[in-house]
Amino acid sequence: MALSDELKELAEQPSRETSLLIFPVGFDVFEDYLDLLSVSQALLEDQGFEGVFQLASFHPAYCFDGQNIDDAANYTNRSPYPMLHILREASVEKALSTVAHPDKIPTRNIDVARAKGQVEMQRLLTACQNLKA
């Protein structure tokens, strides 16, 4: 699996901070992607990388549990392609140590997305998607 290889490479190369696994085919359906995310998280744990790396998830149709599909908040986790972002936990912790109230970052991001509105957020995502053509 590409994730397993990438986790091992990151572990062997401490100067590499992060990695993106982008899936241009195969996970267009959000529910299928959520299955991939679940398997990926289990793999990360099974390989002993829990606490070393964390996964951030992005998908063109990302929808937070319990949210309306058209809620602009969903765009904080939307991307042109389905992807997994592998982050070093120590680097995340270091970056967050310089931010006042890091626990409020997701709420601020959601507030900004909602202030822009669903139409503007969709326009921005579409502009990104058009870059890949």
d(CA 4, CA 48) in angstroms, rounded, equals 11
User: Domains of the chain: which residue ranges?
Assistant: 2-131
Tokens of 93: 């912790």
The side-by-side arrangement of strands in the sheet containing 83-88 is 18-22, 83-88, 53-58
> How confident is the model at residue 80, as a pLDDT?
93
The total of other beta-carbon atoms located within 10 Å of residue 53's CB is: 22
Bridge partner list, 57: 84
Condensed to tens digits (0 to 9), the pLDDT of residues 18-69 reads 999 999 999 999 999 999 999 999 999 999 999 999 999 999 999 999 999 9
pLDDT in tens, 72-122: 999 999 999 999 999 999 999 999 999 999 999 999 999 999 999 999 999
The predicted pLDDT at position 1 comes to 66
Partners of residue 87 on adjacent β-strands: 18, 54
Residue 81 β-bridge partners: none
Contact 74, 116 (CB under 8 A): no
Whether the full predicted model's pTM is greater than 0.85, yes or no, is yes
Look up residue 94 and give its amino acid: K
